[in-house]
A and B are shown apart, each in its own frame.
Chain A
Amino acid sequence: MTGYIYGEIETQAGSLPRVETRWNRHDRWGAIRTRWSVGRMRYRVAPGIYAVGDPDRNSMVFVTGNYKLSFDHLRRALNGINCWILVIDTKGINVWCAAGKGTFSTKEVVRRIRIHHLEQVVDHRKIILPQLSATGVAAHDVKKMTGFIVKYGPVLAKDINAYVNSGLKATSAMRTVTFPLVERLKLIPVDVFYGKYYILVVPLLFLLLSGLNPGGYSFDLILHTGGKSVVNLFSGYLAGCVIAPAILPWIPFRRFSIKGVIVGWFVALMLLLTGTMGITLTEKVSWFLIIGALSSFMAMNFTGSSTFTSLSGVQKEMKTALPVQIGMVSLGFIGWIITRFITI
């Protein structure tokens, strides 16, 4: 899996690996797999200093975390620039999250500069960090402890070329985080797997319970009522973690939980027309409650993927949303159980 390294380069700090700036088959496949949560927590590169192109003692130094996808985006963006990459140990977590959690930190940057003897590799005293690492790194403290001046590069690796060409100046646009459709779509798979084994356990429970009826237990009902229940459950879940994130800015209201209810109920209306909601009013109302709550919760969960929600805001939202969601799902479940036995 080290197909991105070719050859070595001799420095005063020993021989250092030289990396490709082009992605190969493994890199592309790895990027897809990790988005779908397959082996994401093990997708890492070894911390240390890497050479890009043919750098010398005056070449720039770019710092990044050891999540391989971060490293891959950086080296690809550095195509045509002779420079060094200092990879620090962020436990395989991406730059922004690592900075928020404290693994992309002042301490770790300082430690890596020392361990890998950066001062022996270059003569200058300047390192370029991704802007989003600023949450975890205090530039003035790194300077104080190592003598290296921290320059914050652009948010996105793809802007590095423009940043370098303008003499290490980032435009306001390069400094601002956006959340366009493509980015939201990339993050959807992570949230789809948020439910982990509950994604199987809960539908299974509904399948088993759907056999209940006034006369005892019917296996025919498992297929009939149970099958419909599974469709309803997945619809509510996916409404909140796929549809809501995709159309996020266009759904009215600021609270993600309300956006989720709106999408959930819209989906529930569609289901009502296709007849998966049952016959009685109680059952239909129960499904509206369950689907609405599921969708609301999953949409609220997307605050973790979004790039603009504040902790204070999410706490305020959850204080009311979480009890309402729990209430809705409980009522809905009770209502659904009742309709197994009574036709109202």
Chain B
Amino acid sequence: MNGFLYLTGVVTLELDSAKCKGCLMCMEVCPHAVFDVEHKKAVILHKDLCMECGACAKNCKEGAITVKSGVGCAAGIINGLIRGTEPTCDCNSGGNCC
């Protein structure tokens, strides 16, 4: 899967293991197998595989995970630049979107 590795060292994903209670919901929802379990707690195993979708943080009851999530999409970022907002897709204006 090396051809599917994107830029390294940029991902904003953080896990506060002091807060983790080991429900492992993050492992369940992560689409890129970023997490693993160690001593009954979640750990970040492959940080560079993270696409910052935010599913783990959203489903972490303890609030142990933070990530600046958003659309990892050039068109969305350009949209944001033009409108002066966060990166956004173009769905509400009736245009095409992903």
CA distance A303 to B89 in the complex (A): 13
Q: Check A307–B31 contact: CB distance below 8 A.
A: yes
Q: A93-B91, A177-B31 are in contact. Are A310 and B59 (CB under 8 A)?
A: no
Q: Check A134–B58 contact: CB distance below 8 A.
A: yes
CA distance A32 to B53 in the complex (A): 28
Residues of chain B within 8 A of A97, CB atoms compared? 89, 97-98
Q: Check B97–A93 contact: CB distance below 8 A.
A: yes
Q: B15 within 8 Å of A by Cβ? A: no
Q: Check B3–A305 contact: CB distance below 8 A.
A: no
Binds B, one of A108-116, A159-167, A312-320: A312-320
How many residues does chain B have at the interface if contact means C-beta atoms less than 8 Å apart?
Answer: 46
Q: A135-B69, A300-B74, A307-B51 are in contact. Are A312 and B10 (CB under 8 A)?
A: yes
Residues of chain B within 8 A of A172, CB atoms compared? 33
Q: Check B31–A131 contact: CB distance below 8 A.
A: yes
Residues of chain A within 8 A of B91, CB atoms compared? 41, 91, 93, 101
* B14-67 contacts to A (CB < 8 Å): 25, 28-33, 49-55, 58-59, 61
Across the two chains, which residue of chain B brings its CB closest to A302?
Answer: B74
Could you tell me the distance in whole angstroms from the C-beta of B39 to the nearest C-beta in chain A? Answer: 20
Residues of chain A within 8 A of B89, CB atoms compared? 97, 100-101, 304
Q: Check A311–B69 contact: CB distance below 8 A.
A: yes
Binds B, one of A201-209, A229-237, A247-255, A275-283: A247-255
Q: Check B10–A131 contact: CB distance below 8 A.
A: no
Q: A307-B31, A310-B50, A311-B87 are in contact. Are A316 and B98 (CB under 8 A)?
A: no
* A290-304 contacts to B (CB < 8 Å): 300-301, 303-304
Could you tell me the distance in whole angstroms from the C-beta of A191 to the nearest C-beta in chain B? Answer: 9
CA distance A322 to B82 in the complex (A): 14
CA distance A338 to B2 in the complex (A): 44
Q: Check A193–B31 contact: CB distance below 8 A.
A: no
Q: A58 within 8 Å of B by Cβ? A: no
Q: A248-B3, A303-B73 are in contact. Are A176 and B32 (CB under 8 A)?
A: yes
Q: Check B32–A177 contact: CB distance below 8 A.
A: yes
Q: Check B4–A249 contact: CB distance below 8 A.
A: yes
Q: Given B2, B32, B58, which contacts A135 in the complex, CB threshold below 8 Å? A: B58
Main secondary structure on B side of the interface with A? loop
Q: A48 within 8 Å of B by Cβ? A: no
Q: Check B73–A304 contact: CB distance below 8 A.
A: yes
CA distance A306 to B3 in the complex (A): 12
Q: Given B30, B52, B58, B74, which contacts A304 in the complex, CB threshold below 8 Å? A: B74
Across the two chains, which residue of chain B brings its CB closest to A136?
Answer: B58
Q: A88 within 8 Å of B by Cβ? A: no
Q: Check B97–A100 contact: CB distance below 8 A.
A: no
Residues of chain A within 8 A of B77, CB atoms compared? 311, 314-315, 318
Q: Check A310–B55 contact: CB distance below 8 A.
A: no
Q: A324 within 8 Å of B by Cβ? A: no
* A85-132 contacts to B (CB < 8 Å): 91, 93-94, 97, 99-101, 131-132
Q: Check B98–A305 contact: CB distance below 8 A.
A: yes
Could you tell me the distance in whole angstroms from the C-beta of A97 to the nearest C-beta in chain B? Answer: 5
A residues with a Cβ closer than 8 A to B are 37, 40-41, 91, 93-94, 97, 99-101, 131-132, 134-140, 152, 155, 170, 172, 175-179, 190, 193-194, 248-250, 254-256, 300-301, 303-318, 322
Having A101-B71, A190-B98, A312-B68, one finds 12 other A-B pairs with CB under 8 Å, namely: A135-B69, A140-B61, A170-B28, A178-B1, A190-B96, A254-B7, A308-B6, A308-B32, A310-B51, A311-B52, A314-B72, A317-B7
Counting from the closest, the 9 A-B pairs by CB-CB distance are A249-B3, A304-B73, A134-B29, A134-B55, A177-B31, A313-B7, A311-B70, A310-B52, A309-B72
